[in-house]
Amino acid sequence: MGSYLQASWDNDAFQLRARNTSDRYYTNGIHVKHFSNYWHKWPTRYVLLKLASRVGQSYSYRYDFGAGQEIYTPKNLTIRNRPLYPNDHPYAGYLYLSWGLTSSDPVKGRKLTSQFILGVIGPLSGAAEVQQQFHLAENFKTPMGWGTQMPNDPAVSYFVRYENRLVPQFSPVFDIIGRVDANLGMLSNYASMGTVLRFGLFNDYFQSATGLYNSSAGRPHRRVQLYTTFGTSFRAVLDNSLLQGGWFNGAHNYYALPAVELKHFLGLIDWGVAAAYKNVQFSFNQTLQTSEFKNGLDHQWGRFSLLFYCGR
């Protein structure tokens, strides 16, 4: 089956609406993930969900390990001592490790993904240093308010996503996929539902966790893939520690938003393009999200992602 490595870079400068390019809210994210059944050896496998096996059916199971950092800032980066409750996003950083499992059912067109995530928000995330050094290197304005960021807090979470082909695949170049997901824990509690449309030349989404197959896998195999995706989703949010502060020390940050400022229903739209040759894939995605808090703005960011085969 082999191992695969995926590296992704999110930034709110990677957007096509250049006139609205921002440096606010979710402003940067780096994510790395290693897909390999080596991670099946770790005890985290006992907390991961998978599709139940059935007689006469075989599913594809792929474990993974990931790490990442996310950076969040307000609209105005030039204020050192911000006013209380400014109807703006607090400074916040998030650093995490994740262990996951993806179960794929190519016959019925189903996929179940689960992740156990250990993270931290606050100065330990290193977000302030990363953004300050990046802005200094690129001669951007210096973010002045990191002294008001969320204090250190653990952020242990559990993520689950279920996906299913909504309409029988009547065309090899068009597919409609429905998805529901939920995140539970100390970072944020929410549930989402939505759909994803795929157009173009692609391998079956439900045949593996990566979509990159080798010719010895005994499955329909397309060496060259070129396709676009379009998705919409609706999210109900109970809480968000990146806005409200963590469970233990959040009350000690007077710049966190009160619970009454939080918007509990969000809409998201994303679209992207992907190109792959054999076991290498490059993709670019755009995400537009409605405001997360009162008097906030909608927000858009882009993602560049590289996925490739890295060994047995």
Q: Can you give the pLDDT at residue 18?
A: 58
Q: Can you give the pLDDT at residue 248?
A: 93
Whether the per-residue pLDDT at 20 is higher than 80: the answer is no
pLDDT digit string, tens, across residues 58-89: 788 999 999 999 999 998 888 877 776 667 89
Mean pLDDT score, 194-210 = 92
Q: Can you give the pLDDT at residue 270?
A: 96
Whether the per-residue pLDDT at 236 is higher than 70: the answer is yes
Residue type, 9: W
pLDDT-based confidence at 220, cuts 50/70/90?
low
Mean pLDDT score, 285-308 = 95
pLDDT digit string, tens, across residues 137-163: 877 778 888 998 999 999 999 999 999
Q: Can you give the pLDDT at residue 215?
A: 54
Domain boundaries, the chain: 3-311
Q: Can you give the pLDDT at residue 116?
A: 98
Q: What CATH number does the domain located at 3-311 have?
A: 2.40.128.140
pLDDT-based confidence at 53, cuts 50/70/90?
confident
Mean pLDDT score, 13-31 = 81
Whether the per-residue pLDDT at 17 is higher than 70: the answer is no
